[in-house]
Amino acid sequence: MDAGLAALLGAAVGCLATLGAAMVNGRAAARSQFGQWRRQHRRDAYAKYLGALHDRDIAMDAVLDALQPDTPDLQDVDEKVQRFVTLAREVHRAVEIVVLEGPSSVVEAAEQVAHASGDLSEVMRRMVREAQAGDTSRKATDGALGTERKHLLYQAVKSFRTAAGDVLSNAN
């Protein structure tokens, strides 16, 4: 083989190797950018959900506090319940994005939060109905049950935070 043909063949092999390396590097960069984009969207969804939960839980605490007096101000209770309902809707909207972003470990943790929230909300609604009816016979029992369920909700939210943190720290 003459020197010109060998140089041409060497240049072609070099071009193909450079092109292959560029393609591999480009794909790796695209994958990395997509992973970062997905991580950011998940982080935003999880943060919005946790924020909505926090606001809703403060509103629930306000309802429970308003029910504490022997004769609660029912108008005040109703206003606080309306605020709670509005914020509960925000939680439902936020969790839909969490479900879309996933993964299943985070969705399962969010479902546990929803279950614990529902259990506590059930006690709160019963306490409101009984206050409106002037029935104080279960007030102490429901107060203790509310405290227990509040703790379970706190534990569920804590588990959600852990699951979300695990997903975000393991995303590449």
pTM of the predicted model as reported, rounded to 2 decimal places: 0.80
**Assigned token pair, 49:** 């959900």
Q: How far apart are CA 132 and CA 134, in angstroms?
A: 5
Q: Supply the CATH classification number for the domain 39-170.
A: 1.20.1420
Spell out the domain ranges in the chain. 39-170
The pLDDT-based confidence of 10 (bands split at 50, 70, 90) is low
Name residue, tokens 């092109």: 19
Average pLDDT over residues 64-83: 94
**Assigned token pair, 166:** 């695990």
Which residues, other chains included, contact 9 with Cβ-Cβ below 8 Å and sequence gap of 6+? Answer: 1
- Check whether 22 has a pLDDT greater than 60: no
User: In the chain, what's the furthest Cα-to-Cα distance?
Assistant: 106
**Assigned token pair, 163:** 């699951």
Tens-digit pLDDT profile for residues 47-61: 999 999 999 999 999
